[in-house]
Amino acid sequence: MALIVQKYGGTSVGSLDLIRQVAARIIREKVAGHDMLVVLSAMAGETDRLLGMARSMSPDPDPREVDVLISTGEQISVALFCLACQSQGYEARSLLGFQAKIRTNNLHGQSRIVGIDATRIRDQLDRGLIVAVAGFQGLDEMGDITTLGRGGSDTTAVALAAALEADRCEILTDVNGVYTTDPNICPKARKIEHISYEEMLEMASLGAKVMDIRSVEFAMKYGVKIHVRHSQTDEPGTIISEEDEEMEDRVVSGVAYNKNEARITIVKVPDQPGMAARILKTVSDANIVVDMIIQNTSAGDPGHTDFSFTVPLLDFEKAMTLVTRLAEEIGAERVLGDDAIAKVSLIGVGMRSHAGVATKMFAALASEGINIRMISTSEIKISCVIAEKYTELAVRALHSAFELDREE
Amino acid sequence: MALIVQKYGGTSVGSLDLIRQVAARIIREKVAGHDMLVVLSAMAGETDRLLGMARSMSPDPDPREVDVLISTGEQISVALFCLACQSQGYEARSLLGFQAKIRTNNLHGQSRIVGIDATRIRDQLDRGLIVAVAGFQGLDEMGDITTLGRGGSDTTAVALAAALEADRCEILTDVNGVYTTDPNICPKARKIEHISYEEMLEMASLGAKVMDIRSVEFAMKYGVKIHVRHSQTDEPGTIISEEDEEMEDRVVSGVAYNKNEARITIVKVPDQPGMAARILKTVSDANIVVDMIIQNTSAGDPGHTDFSFTVPLLDFEKAMTLVTRLAEEIGAERVLGDDAIAKVSLIGVGMRSHAGVATKMFAALASEGINIRMISTSEIKISCVIAEKYTELAVRALHSAFELDREE
């Protein structure tokens, strides 16, 4: 008999019928002898509906009250789920954030869990009840309702699994697991059986939106092994855990891409100390997050250097305006902007011990005639910026070059 | 500067626009220098929508989970109200039942308030905030969400007014106050300026559905003076308070009626001790609430008596089946049922000190050719059962006979 935490996302509980199906799955595990702790999101579309009401009420709605409003979504889901269990003959109890004693800081709309007192949950599980906790919500020190931000129910599940030392933590969703790359682009994409936290973090931040990135960080911190799988099949999905030797043998685990960035280049920046900091401060003061940053040595043109960086596509116009003004002030030649770029990345913990990955990557892109505009590397990732139109071609070329379609 | 508690019902907060209007009203009082505590119901239709979901999930839904589900209605109202205040430049804070420390017993769906710790509310009012409390909900000893039943937000408002010793407790609704009778039946019906708790209880239980009856009981118990008024005008409504001399001078305060009862008569019941108890036990064991009960002496037919009582119309068929079976067992002659009856009642604390009210009532009905089927009296009420088709005629006749259309 194991203690299993299962989290179901909004599309998995998007109607009364789907909630009944979730109840049936949980009951099946219960009947098999397991203690079942369920974390539910709001029914698909509900959070957006409530946010729409908030915004039509106030252009800049008070985050405290928005949290009171949108936390009703998960409240409705857990109550309906318990009724569904009951109608199938099994007892279930819902617990809201304040009842499950999920304490958070007070950053409304993007709170972090600071502690869980699992006494009541444990007690109800011991009494043989199915327990359903409303995801996404908690209570701060003041006794106010908080929410954890988009995808927060994943974090609720992982945090509960950690607090209760659950045997299994499963994230049930509308995909079969984490893939070597986007199957919509590359039909040969293969489900990864086992991936490390670090790799998953890189995959997630690059746009493979299977799980909320903060829940993976949380799982890594507390060593919670996660199983991401489809909510309507029994097939195994992807296990996310600490890295092991098998993963290190694999050079590359996946190919990620991101089309939502734009590149800005300042040409002929005077090569003086502090110039990079000044440029970045201008951008970050406007709350624009910079991703890649490239500055080359000024060997070819002494006294000047070209400075490039990428920003989210949504902030591109704003960043261009700010940087163009700055370029005049610092006496740079001009500013170039390009919003038709994409970033393709190879990810794998095996890179740490395998040489030649970058060479092979550049060669694979070159063989398809794809020019590389920017390169950045980290311990377990190599990213190249290319023209957006080549994205799919590049992903498929890299996927083949590194034989990701081969069974493990 | 006064502390004012105002409660707005579902139709008064039935849309985002109406919530904005309520916010504007509250702000006007706030600007006038008052401390404002607002109690809100769910938006019109929301509770029924949620109950519909519960019922389609389970034929006999667990009351604990139903409370979790339907309490979201008021939660949404208070959050939107606070956002509306904010958008108009004023700070407001919502408090749910558990945050307002409204403690109840654990009768889910029909809980009673057992205590309120108003410290947090007082603190927020002292800081100059408008405070909005979700009506209808509380928390039991276990830390579970409870609801107070239909009309429960009225009780929330009265209980908060009592706990905070508020200067005014106003119930804002979609009528102008309590009327001498139903204006839809009697165009001469007049708004009552001042009515006693006892009279209001009789009016409410007889179908003048302005306020929830339990909130009036609560107000009577704690001596909270209530002002019932329209949510969209500034006209004074009806004050409900302890009775005073002025009220006693008035013989009759109002005429109520109820078409939702049916009469059952058992003919020739053997006149033995314990027979009435046996009949009523049969009915009440089936959870059917009996209203009027009439048993006459058996002078004309020694050894037998006729026994009549009224039950809710909805329970009529069930009661007839039970009573017909019983009549055979006890050797009564037969059972007569009539579901086309109405009860018309005169209500007034002045009856205690004025003779001849009943005589005048029976005469007024007789002069219209209306036969009286049953009569029952209490200290401040006289009720007659008549044929349903005469209801409107009877109400108008009584209203005129007691000159209720005359200005006070």
A133 contacts in chain B (CB < 8 Å): none
Rounded distance between C-alpha atoms, residue A310 and residue B95, angstroms: 44
A77 Rama sector, left if φ>0, alpha if ψ -120 to 50, beta otherwise:
alpha
- For strand A261-270 and strand A334-338, is the pairing parallel, antiparallel, or unpaired? antiparallel
Partner residues linked to B230 by β-bridges: B173
pLDDT band at B206 (very low <50, low <70, confident <90, very high): low
A91: exposed, middle or buried (C-beta count within 10 Å: 0-12, 13-18, 19+)? middle
Which CATH number is associated with domain B3-174?
3.40.1160.10
**Residue from B276, B313, B311, B314 nearest B295 by CA:** B276
The answer to whether residues A62 and B82 touch, using CB atoms and an 8 Å cutoff, is yes
Q: What pLDDT is attached to residue A207?
A: 60
Binary contact (B53, A94; C-beta < 8 A): no
Binary contact (A99, B65; C-beta < 8 A): no
Closest chain A residue to B63, measured at CA: A83
Whether residue B296 lies within 8 A of chain A, CB to CB, comes out as: no
Rounded distance between C-alpha atoms, residue A287 and residue A322, angstroms: 12
The residue with tokens 């500034």 is: B234
The answer to whether residues B383 and B245 touch, using CB atoms and an 8 Å cutoff, is no
Of B20, B59, B68, the CB nearest to A94: B68
A94 contacts in chain B (CB < 8 Å): 65, 68
Do A3-174 and A245-408 share a fold? no
Q: What pLDDT is attached to residue B301?
A: 79
- Sketch the domain layout of chain B as residue ranges: 3-174, 244-408
What is the least distance, in Å, from the CA of A80 to any CA of chain B?
7
Across B207-340, where does the E strand assignment appear? 226-230, 238-241, 254-258, 261-270, 293-295, 304-312, 334-338
Of B19, B59, B75, the CB nearest to A72: B75
Give the residue with greater pLDDT, A305 vs B77: B77
B61 contacts in chain A (CB < 8 Å): 83, 86
Binary contact (B58, A99; C-beta < 8 A): no
Average pLDDT over residues B156-185: 95
Of A58, A72, A98, the CB nearest to B98: A98
First to last CA, chain A: 31
Q: Which amino acid is at B22?
A: V
Rounded distance between C-alpha atoms, residue A238 and residue A227, angstroms: 6
Q: What pLDDT is attached to residue A1?
A: 84
The answer to whether residues B199 and B180 touch, using CB atoms and an 8 Å cutoff, is no
The answer to whether residues B355 and B308 touch, using CB atoms and an 8 Å cutoff, is no
A53 contacts in chain B (CB < 8 Å): 16, 76, 80
Output phi, psi for A359, to 5 deg: -55, -45
B53 contacts in chain A (CB < 8 Å): 16, 76, 80
What is the least distance, in Å, from the CA of A87 to any CA of chain B?
5
The residue with tokens 């239980």 is: B205
The answer to whether residues A157 and A135 touch, using CB atoms and an 8 Å cutoff, is yes
**3-state class of B33 per DSSP?**
coil
Binary contact (A80, B99; C-beta < 8 A): no
Rounded distance between C-alpha atoms, residue A338 and residue A334, angstroms: 14
Output phi, psi for A393, to 5 deg: -60, -45
Across A20-177, where does the E strand assignment appear? 35-40, 92-95, 102-104, 113-116, 130-134, 137-139, 145-147, 168-173
Rounded distance between C-alpha atoms, residue A358 and residue A347, angstroms: 11
Whether residue A51 lies within 8 A of chain B, CB to CB, comes out as: no
Q: What pLDDT is attached to residue B155?
A: 96
First to last CA, chain B: 31
What is the least distance, in Å, from the CA of A98 to any CA of chain B?
9
Q: What angle do CA A176, A180, A182 make, to 5 degrees?
A: 75
A14 contacts in chain B (CB < 8 Å): none
B82 contacts in chain A (CB < 8 Å): 62, 65, 68
The answer to whether residues B106 and B113 touch, using CB atoms and an 8 Å cutoff, is no
In B4-43, the residues whose Cβ lies within 8 Å of chain A are 16, 19-20
The answer to whether residues A249 and A206 touch, using CB atoms and an 8 Å cutoff, is no
Average pLDDT over residues B174-194: 92
pLDDT tens series, chain A, 408 aa? 899 999 999 999 999 999 999 999 999 999 999 999 999 999 999 999 999 999 999 999 999 999 999 999 999 999 999 999 999 999 999 999 999 999 999 999 999 999 999 999 999 999 999 999 999 999 999 999 999 998 899 999 999 999 999 999 999 998 899 999 999 999 999 999 999 999 999 887 666 578 888 899 999 999 999 999 999 999 999 999 998 888 878 889 999 999 999 999 999 999 888 888 999 999 999 989 898 998 877 667 788 888 999 999 999 999 999 999 999 999 999 999 999 999 999 999 989 888 889 999 999 999 999 999 999 888 899 999 999 999 999 999 999 999 998 876
CATH superfamily of B244-408: VC0802-like (3.30.2130.10)
Instruction: Note the maximum CA span of chain A.
Output: 79
What is the least distance, in Å, from the CA of B64 to any CA of chain A?
9
Q: What pLDDT is attached to residue B129?
A: 98
B86 contacts in chain A (CB < 8 Å): 58, 61-62, 65
Q: Which amino acid is at B175?
A: V
Closest chain B residue to A19, measured at CA: B57
Summarised one tens digit per residue, pLDDT across range B252-311 is 999 999 999 999 999 999 988 888 899 999 999 998 989 899 887 766 778 888 899 999
pLDDT band at B372 (very low <50, low <70, confident <90, very high): very high
Closest chain B residue to A63, measured at CA: B83
Rounded distance between C-alpha atoms, residue B89 and residue B26, angstroms: 12
Binary contact (B143, A65; C-beta < 8 A): no
The answer to whether residues A37 and A5 touch, using CB atoms and an 8 Å cutoff, is yes
Binary contact (B20, A58; C-beta < 8 A): no
Q: What pLDDT is attached to residue B216?
A: 93
ipTM score of the complex? 0.86
In A144-163, the residues whose Cβ lies within 8 Å of chain B are 144-145
Predicted model pTM: 0.87
Percent of chain B whose pLDDT exceeds 90: 83
Q: What pLDDT is attached to residue A274?
A: 87
Rounded distance between C-alpha atoms, residue B406 and residue B408, angstroms: 6
B99 Rama sector, left if φ>0, alpha if ψ -120 to 50, beta otherwise:
alpha
C-alpha distances (whole Å) from A241 to each of A172, A225, A235, A289, B258 are 17, 5, 19, 29, 69
**3-state class of A300 per DSSP?**
coil
Would you identify the CATH topology of the domain A245-408?
VC0802-like (3.30.2130)
Q: CA gyration radius for chain A?
A: 24
Q: What pLDDT is attached to residue B250?
A: 86
Whether residue B123 lies within 8 A of chain A, CB to CB, comes out as: no
Average pLDDT over residues B87-91: 96
Average pLDDT over residues B68-86: 98
Across A155-199, where does the E strand assignment appear? 168-173, 194-196
C-alpha distances (whole Å) from A271 to each of A169, A275, A278, A302, A303 are 52, 7, 12, 8, 5
Of A20, A66, A75, the CB nearest to B68: A75
Measure CA A288 to chain center: 19
Q: What angle do CA B121, B123, B125 make, to 5 degrees?
A: 70
A49 contacts in chain B (CB < 8 Å): none
Binary contact (A69, B61; C-beta < 8 A): no
Could you give the count of Cα atoms lying within 13 Å of A171 in the half-sphere of its Cβ? 31
Sign of CA dihedral A43, A49, A50, A51: positive
The answer to whether residues B36 and B131 touch, using CB atoms and an 8 Å cutoff, is yes
Of B58, B72, B120, the CB nearest to A72: B72
Q: What pLDDT is attached to residue A354?
A: 85
Q: What angle do CA B281, B282, B285 make, to 5 degrees?
A: 75
Q: What angle do CA B53, B58, B61 make, to 5 degrees?
A: 90
B83 contacts in chain A (CB < 8 Å): 54, 57-58, 61-62, 65-66, 69
Whether residue B50 lies within 8 A of chain A, CB to CB, comes out as: yes
Q: Which residues contact B159 (CB under 8 A, 6 or more apart)?
A: B102, B113, B116, B218, B222
